[in-house]
Structure 1
Amino acid sequence: MRAPRTVIAAGVIAAMTIGVAGCAESDRDNGEDQSNATGGTFIFAGAGDPKNFDPIFNDDGESFRPIRQMYETLVTHKPGTAELQGGLAESWSNDPTGKIWTFKLRQGVTFHDGTTLDAAAVCANFDRWYNMKGEAAQSQMIYYADVFGGFAGNPDAVYDNCKAPDASTAVVTMKKYKGAFPGAFALTAFSIASPAAMKQHGSDTVTQNGDSFSYSAFANEHPTGTGAFTFGGWNKATGEITLNKNANYWGEKAKVDKVIIKIIKDENTRKQELRAGTVQAIDFPAPADRKALADEGYQVLERPAFNILYLGINQKNNPKLKDLRVRQAIAYALNRAQLVQTKGPGGSVVADQFLPESVLGYAPDVQKYDYSVDKAKQLLSEAGATGLTLNFYYPTEVSRPYMPNPQEIFTVLANDLQAAGIKVNGVPRPWNGGFKDDVQQFGKQDLHILGWTGDYNDPGNFVGTFFGRPKVEFGDDAMADMFTAVGKADATVDQEAKRTAFEQVNRDLAAKWLPAVPIWHAPPAIVTTKEVQGLVPSPLTAEEFDTVSLTK
């Protein structure tokens, strides 16, 4: 059932629905209708370890993949699109100010522990997030900080309260309008968990150990949602996460009996196991492999490009990077067009701003940084930064939708920088428990490559997530005018005024602030064996496996 929406929400959603390309590079017709096939085990090759299975403490795709199968959100997306539809809430509406959101919940929904989903359970989740304290609040709650502005006691906090006038109605009140809603209610990080299970297994017990965090038994051993699959265990020795069909699921039951997410960190090994038949699907194939795999008879399912890869610039550790001319020199030094041609997935395009062209606020007239080694050297000389040395962090043992091979991308970018006279010290770090902590928690880097796949169709989900507040990742909290401009644009209720405000934000990001350099937009793909049917590729890389069936 499609939820009723007031004009505030409807303008964005109606204007910006994104579909998928489906099977772009292979023939999926095997001559039989297998839509009713059931049973079996679907084995998906993950590219990296999840951090844990508590939605609120995560922000990366490798963690969200299993979480998404076990948990659900109040609002979700129509399969294959970025269009919103009802999730655990059959419908939702907001008042004219955009501050009061009313959710009508589905009846007969239970958590995996047998407890009932009701409005009190929904409010318990919202109150939990808002009242997080201590090390739990300091851990990787990036989505909450970006969307809700902060925790209890923070003057920037957006959340006010949640009330349950009856068991099937949850009313969430915000202190101010924020453009992220209603789209943000569909974020996997804001999945609804069982309050009873969280209490029993100490969900908020988080401890910091040096540069990393340790999480609760709930997060690691007892994740409890309402989804089509239940948790069957994580065998770290074999790298296998097991998910079992939820026989008590409120909706249409999953077609397969079991899902195994097998962690295979090496890209070539993932491809070899696909060919050997030990896995049935791999994500983010290397650009050069897509045609070859399609020619071999594998299904190559392509998603639209709804993402961004960027070169982040941390202004904290090296004072030279605070000079706009130095950051502009870095931008001019990068031969992004060649990088797209040689390393980008098919259909990739050079990015000149931090959101796709399909998103409200895209400005076609931003300042461009066409490749020019001479211009880069000139700006470095003018800034007194000749001989600059920078520590360039990049992740290992992982492929992301926007970054299929980090090592290769780093190598090309580092060579470009060195050709312009910038010495580069490469620092490879593992994705979880290394790179992400060093970059996003502690800001050890001068440069890094990272990116984003949009969670919903709103400029705040891109520009606001990156640059709406001071972040360790970019290392300079002095750009108060940037934070103010992004916040003002995001708080604009009128959609045309919001478009104009974000267009100016994007112009200023390119010409005046340049906290990072956009690299490309890349359409990621999933590759499956012929026996896999019903997998719907998502532009948000938010695939759910309950629709998957296996031919005999």
Structure 2
Amino acid sequence: MLHTGKKRVRKAALIGLAGALVVSVSACAESDRGDSGSGESGGTLVFGAAGKPKNFDPIFNDDGETFRIQRQMYDTLITYKPGTAELEPGLATEWEPSNEGKTWTFTLREDVKFHDGTDFNAEAVCANFDRWHNLPSAAAQSQAIYYGDVFGGFAENKGDATGEPLYKSCEADGENTAVVNLGKAKGAFPDAFGLTSFSISSPTAMEKHNADEVTQTGGAFSYSDYANKFPTGTGPFKFESYKPQNNTVTLVRNDDYWGEKAKLDKVVFKIIEDENARKQELEAGSIQAYDFPSPAHYQSLEDNGQKILSRPNFNILYLGINQEGNPKLKDVRVRQAIQYAINKKQLAQNQLPRGATGRDQFLPDTLDGFTKDVEKFPYSQEDAKRLLKEAGAENLTLKFYVPTEVSRPYLPNPQAVGGAIADDLEKVGIKVETVLRPWNGGFKDDVQKLGKQDIHLLGWTGDYGDAGNFIGTFFGREKAEFGFNNPEIFDALSRADATVDDAEQKKDYEEAAQKIAEFIPAVPLTSSPAALAVSPKVHGIVPSPLTDERFSTVTVEES
């Protein structure tokens, strides 16, 4: 008997009620600011986006700037409670696993329309699942990154190492019940059903505008009219235009939205790639918000009357160790010495945004699988030197790859962070040869190749509230980034990923976390609360650990 799925369903129902209360309180708060709470307050939010959208078809995307736009236009079957990674109802009001986690039954909302006026129903849900599974070309499949990762492959090219993709079929049991059948249980569910990539599109619009047409020319991809001009979801905002020449994307309120109507008339995403320029435009009033302000700008922004909205910590910065890069790194004593050598507390205080903390494991403390019972390596130059001597690695030289031309929530200034780590390592006698490579100009490729680097800086922001999205993504199989083989870690993660039983999954992820901390395939460094910079005239943005902010609750005071 499978108990966990039932517990998750009940939990989701309670979260839905809590979410309704949050929305109600938020509406009252906005009313106190002069908004009637009717959803007709009007106005426009201009958001400073750091990059151009790839396209507007969720299944073909994996970057945050594109997802931010899509989340306003689309809904997923399950979504996340504002400000958390906890689940709450989306287009499905209930969901329940059966058949040992291989079947998921979704009870759907009634009287929901897509933006083109067609009905949302079980047939529409199944059309989306079937479409994802049957993407027709290698180009399309290569761009559906999240689907390939979560579902393990596609109908045409089969799947991962098991040879078979996870998805089997979807059946419409009447208008408002969709039944999704899998080949085996997947521990990432139900959380992963909330991924923006799995947003539900209008089957009519996709067919009309040839949604599956993805072509590749060299390293470039071209997408359909659906993806570029006619994205059609069920969300609180609808697509109006994308004007690359003006660097703007404009969305308008969906007056037929099934939930509480958006308060804004429009949301405009103004693409401003330089963070200094975004800061200047916020202070000038030409935009009202932007993401990932430089921590160095927090104080000056606040001094000028802007708001800094910090998100809950849900990321990890780590020092990758490639055991194939240098034979001495295969000795766990050397990896332990590297752990001891780095002053994580000082790194967090001096190089990362306020609120950053040092970490001794890869999982956020809010996720099942986090455990205090992991081996710890507090800062100790003496222990680092002792272990290096025991391992015969007193003259160790490491090639340290550090990215440039990038800023991430967990790594706002890569060269400064890399320099601080290099200094710590050299203090215990490790010679560091720093290699600077552009993020999209060699770094990402190089750190995935065995033997290219010895150590490197990288990180991760969680996509959803499941431990597998962190340690399963990193260490679930042999990866070139780390160049290690540890069957005990792989087996523990495989067991966790193959069950939807909460208690069993928690135990397996805790076991994996303990083995990872003991084996040290990489060094967890810090977690940092990413932030948004917002005008004092903007109200109703709820910072999300998943960067999953929705703008339907936002109001903007008139000048």
Please confirm whether the aligned pair reaches a TM-score higher than 0.5, indicating the same fold: yes
Call closer, same or farther: CA 1:11–1:246 in 2, change over 3 Å: closer
Aligned AA for 1:426? L
The CA distance in 2 between the partners of 1:375 and 1:207, in whole Å, is 55
Q: Which residue of 1 aligns with 2:489?
A: 482
CA contact (8 A) 1:119 1:169 kept: yes
Cα gap change, 1:424/1:140 in structure 2, threshold over 3 Å: closer, same or farther? farther
Alpha-carbon distance between aligned partners in 2 of 1:64 and 1:211, rounded to the nearest angstrom: 22
Alpha-carbon shift at residue 469 of structure 1 (Å): 3.2
The match for 1:427 among 412, 437, 441 is 437
The one-letter code of the counterpart of 1:458 is D
Aligned to 1:32: 33
- Partner Cα distance (2:453, 2:14) in 1: 41
Verify the 8 A CA contact 1:443 1:473 in the aligned structure 2.
no
Q: 1:225 matched to which residue of 2? A: 233
Matched, 1:392 2:395: no
- CA drift at 1:435: 5.5
Per mean C-alpha deviation after superposition, the further-off stretch among 261-270 and 324-333 is: 324-333
The answer to which of 421-430 and 318-327 deviates more is: 318-327
User: 1:394: how far off?
Assistant: 1.8
Letter of the aligned partner of 1:496 in structure 2?
A: A
In the alignment, is residue 272 of structure 1 matched against residue 280 of structure 2?
A: yes
Query: CA contact under 8 A between 2:399 and 2:454: conserved in structure 1?
Result: yes
Q: Distance in 2 between matches of 1:343 and 1:321?
A: 26
- Name the CA distance, whole Å, in 2 between partners of 1:191 and 1:336: 38
Question: Which residue of structure 1 aligns with residue 379 of structure 2?
Answer: 371
Paired with 1:510 and 1:249, the residues of 2 have a C-alpha distance of 47
Displacement of 1:74: 0.5
Deviates more, 1:336-345 or 1:214-223: 214-223
On the 8 A contact 2:5/2:501 being kept in 1, the answer is no
Is the contact made by 1:9 and 1:182 (CA closer than 8 Å) also made in structure 2?
no
Question: For 1:283-294, what aligned pairs fall within 5 Å after superposition?
Answer: 283-294=291-302
Amino acid at match of 1:143: Y
Are the equivalent residues in 2 in contact too, given 1:42–1:260 (CA < 8 A)? yes
State the AA in 2 paired with 1:34: D
The structure 2 residue matched to 1:410, chosen from 414, 418, 437, is 418
CA displacement, residues 324-383 of structure 1 (integer Å, 9 cap, x when unaligned): 455444434433221101122222211111111121111213222333456556666736
Q: 1:194 aligns with which of 197, 202, 208?
A: 202
1:252-303, Cα deviation, whole Å (9 max, x unpaired): 2222122122222322222222111111112222334334433432222222
Determine which of 244, 247, 251 is the counterpart of 2:255. 247
Equivalence for 1:59: 62
Return the match for 2:503 from 493, 496, 499. Answer: 496
Counterparts of 1:438 and 1:50 in 2: how far apart (Å)? Answer: 25
Aligned equivalent of 2:529, options 523, 527, 530? 523
- 1:7 corresponds to which residue? 7
Code of the residue aligned with 2:437 in structure 1: it is V
CA contact (8 A) 2:324 2:450 kept: no
Deviation at 1:211, TM superposition (A): 5.1
Q: Give deviations 1:211-232, integer Å, cap 9, x for gaps.
A: 5654444333332222122223
Is 1:44 the equivalent of 2:47? yes
Which residue is equivalent to 2:26? none
* Counterparts of 2:467 and 2:234, CA distance in 1: 30
Q: Which has the larger radius of gyration?
A: 2
Residues 531 and 444 of structure 1: CA distance in aligned 2, closer, same or farther (over 3 Å) = farther
Q: Residue 455 of structure 1 aligns with which residue?
A: 463
After the TM superposition, which segments of 4 or more aligned residues of structure 1 sit over 6 Å from their partners?
A: 11-15, 28-31, 440-444
The amino acid of 2:254's aligned partner reads N
- The separation in 2 between residues aligned to 1:120 and 1:108, in whole angstroms, is 14
Q: Distance in 1 between matches of 2:426 and 2:9?
A: 47
Shift of 1:387: 5.3
Task: Quote the offset at 1:460 in angstroms.
Answer: 1.8
TM-score after normalising by structure 2: 0.85
Q: Name the Cα RMSD after superposition.
A: 3.5
Letter in 1 for 2:489: M
Deviation at 1:171, TM superposition (A): 0.5
Query: Is residue 162 from structure 1 mapped to residue 170 from structure 2 by the alignment?
Result: yes
Partner of 1:24: none
Match of 1:545 among 542, 545, 551: 551
Q: Match of 1:90?
A: 93
- For structure 1, the residue ranges without an aligned partner over 5 or more in a row are 22-27
Maintained 8 Å contact 1:6/1:96: no
Residue 144 and residue 474 in structure 1: after superposition, are their counterparts in 2 closer, same or farther (change >3 A)?
farther
| Residue 100 (str. 1) matches residue 103 (str. 2) | yes
SS in 2 for 1:139: helix
Equivalent position SS for 1:545: coil
Q: Could you tell me which of 147, 150, 159 is aligned with 2:150?
A: 147
The match for 1:359 is 367
- Quote the offset at 1:488 in angstroms: 0.6
Q: CA deviation at 1:322?
A: 5.0
Structure 2: which 5+ residue stretches go unaligned?
Answer: 23-28
Give, as a single letter, the amino acid of the residue that structure 1 aligns with 2:313.
Answer: A
Q: Which residue of the partner structure matches residue 510 of structure 1?
A: 517
Letter in 1 for 2:506: R
1:398-449 per-residue CA deviation (whole Å, 9 max, x = no partner) reads: 4x3333333433343344445531211111224xx87556656999765443
Determine the C-alpha separation between the residues in 2 that align with 1:323 and 1:453. Answer: 29
Deviation, structure 1 residue 319: 5.8
* Structure 2 counterpart of 1:76: 79
Q: Tell me the distance in 2 between the aligned counterparts of 1:103 and 1:517.
A: 40
Residue 218 to residue 41, structure 1, CA distance change in 2 (3 Å): same
Q: Does the 8 A contact of 1:325 with 1:383 survive in 2?
A: no
- Quick check: 2:283–2:304 contact (8 Å CA) kept in 1? no
C-alpha contact (below 8 Å) 1:12/1:495 kept by paired residues: no
Distance (whole Å) between structure 1 residues aligned to residue 445 and residue 113 of structure 2: 35
Deviations 1:137-196 (A, max 9, x none): 652544223322333333353322111122222101122222221111111111112233
164-173 or 489-498: bigger deviation: 489-498
1:36-93 residue CA offsets vs partner (Å, 9 max, x unmatched): 4622221112223333322223233222111111111001122223332211113222
